[in-house]
Structure 1
């Protein structure tokens, strides 16, 4: 089959790899009908995340048709069914899964000893996302083996198109969880850093959950335009002071809720600390750039909540813990517990409350994937979200 394969820093190739096979009785094989490039994939593309190996198949945002199941799937999936596959692989039986904390499933990471060394405990296995999270081949391919397939799937109604439901596997529930864990109240101003795909979903999720005002912060004009179209007040951080504008919008009190939809590769074009972080990162004295985290801690209203869906991979420097503690801020983070949210989100899509396909700007073939990685990373051609069809 054809797949997008990692060969090193900024080296993704479309090439032929072996077809996946059933390896366990709870496996299924999915024929991929559509997949996407996620912002988290760019962390692998630029090799900011450890644990990648030459030959790894990329991609964790995909859907398709069931073509084969192991006998242990026991009718949970049938050939021909159309499913979205969450990026988190879940057993559905461990203590964490039973509590709905699917992204920290205790059983699905086949390299849990590596994750435990990196994080103190194992987290869930993820598709196409480093050997720290299991080294599972990803979904930017013609076919995918899905472990624990009786639990790791989302069935979707025939009334909805592939593009309407594709993002149930990652960015829509990620933006939704970011808003939910911010505990949004009707009087809240919610500030969201990052107007990429997750930020766009967070904007609309915060509004659906009843925020009085949503503010989106970015420096890319077309992304700010999309956030504005979704109902946000926007701040261009290349031209304006984020602190001053947020104070203006909140009568000097600061936003009650702040969401970091950027993560480890944050930019701060007007701040000297950005240069500091780039130097520290270049000489491997920190792995992630915490520019957004610092700014959120500074501007958030005392007793507010910081919600962090943006991916971080390792160590950060100069985090103002004194401000965090003395302001009484609550921090909530985590990879997305996808299956906790998807039943509700499918209903919202079907009811016409939201159509997640609004975020798509580019459609291409799998063979065009390496080129589209560069386009997406460099934000060329007004690129916000890329969908690929194998």
Structure 2
């Protein structure tokens, strides 16, 4: 098969690899029909994620057709069209039984603190991803679901990570009716979080970014007020002014550690690798922008350690901090209803369809924020 292969920071290419085999009776092999490049894939692309090994295939957002199933698989059969959550989970451990699918205890032998995800370095289990023609799906009776007949493919693929993660980010904000919500970052997750905040009763939604085309999308898709932080001497002061110096009720950090290589690169004195920490600028802005007793939801990707986070302010203001990897399948029942009823159209954020053979260019366009790119999809050549 043809697959995207990592060859070092900023170096990806398409190569021939063996079609993955069934390794366990619970496995399925899925022929990928659509995948996506996620903002968190850029951590890998930029060389910021520990133990990203040469030869790995990225890609944790994908849909496809079941090609082969292991002898123990009961819920799927060849020919089924499926959408697959980015979490790889067993469904039976203490965490899975409580719906914490991103915290599964049985799928990542490499790191106790991190769950397992497709195509996301050996820190996240070492599983190859789906920016390829075929992908192995472990625990095939647990994660994948058949795509409803009424659902568009572009909606389905964005529902495997980005949209549920944004929705989960709004959930983690404990939004109540009338709340003022600030979202830092107008990438796909931030935009989905901003749109979802309205579904949870927000009275006002503000999105902060530095790219005008993404802020335009925030106004169009998420119906949000927008601020370009480069146009203000102190964006935190501006947020205080616009909330009568009270602060927002909820802040959502949808940025994380230097996800695009430019957004918060070099803002702090030191540029740190993820294994040591990272730039916490967005998180500190969130801490400073919420009111006392407010809530912060962190959906941005960080490494094992933060650096220079305002922990004292976090404590003294009585701020509640919620964060986790999104348990995607737990969000699907509500999100499916929202999509079917017309309240949400996740595929509206898709801006580019990149042939697998041109994936290096796709990564460059997405990383450099060229051509108005917000959400790029990958189209395998086998389709």
TM-score (norm 2): 0.95
Does residue 8 (structure 1) correspond to residue 8 (structure 2)? The answer is yes
1:319 is matched with: 309
Match of 1:184 among 175, 191, 199: 175
- Spell out the pairing of 1:299-310 with structure 2 (5 A cutoff): 299-310=289-300
Distance 2:275 2:105 in 1: 31
| 1:262-299 Cα deviation digits (max 9, x unpaired) | 0011699999xx646353427x9943110011111111
3-state SS of 2:181 partner:
strand
Distance 1:156 1:59 in 2: 19
Cα gap change, 1:34 to 1:247, in 2 (>3 Å): same
Offset, 1:154: 2.5
2:85 is matched with: 86
Confirm or deny: 8 A CA contact 1:165 1:346 kept in the other structure: no
Distance 1:285 1:152 in 2: 29
1:344 is matched with: 334
1:153 is matched with: 144
Distance 1:208 1:278 in 2: 39
Distance 2:130 2:261 in 1: 32
Does residue 237 (structure 1) correspond to residue 229 (structure 2)? The answer is yes
Confirm or deny: 8 A CA contact 1:266 1:292 kept in the other structure: no
1:355 is matched with: 345
Cα gap change, 1:12 to 1:278, in 2 (>3 Å): farther
Provide the aligned length of Structure 1 versus Structure 2: 378
Match of 2:119 among 124, 128, 143: 128
Distance 2:310 2:40 in 1: 26
2:255 is matched with: 262
Distance 2:131 2:20 in 1: 13
Does residue 199 (structure 1) correspond to residue 190 (structure 2)? The answer is yes
Q: Which structure dedicates a bigger proportion of its chain to helix?
A: 1
- Spell out the pairing of 1:1-390 with structure 2 (5 A cutoff): 1-74=1-74, 76-109=75-108, 112=109, 114-116=110-112, 119=113, 123-229=114-220, 230-240=222-232, 241-265=234-258, 275=266, 277=268, 279-281=270-272, 286-390=276-380
Unpaired runs of 5+ residues, structure 2, are none
Distance 2:376 2:269 in 1: 27
Cα gap change, 1:285 to 1:209, in 2 (>3 Å): closer
Cα gap change, 1:237 to 1:156, in 2 (>3 Å): same
| 1:118-149 Cα deviation digits (max 9, x unpaired) | x4xxx321100010111001010001110001
Distance 2:31 2:86 in 1: 16
Distance 2:290 2:71 in 1: 52
Unpaired runs of 5+ residues, structure 1, are none
Cα gap change, 1:238 to 1:178, in 2 (>3 Å): same
Distance 1:349 1:270 in 2: 31
TM-score (norm 1): 0.93
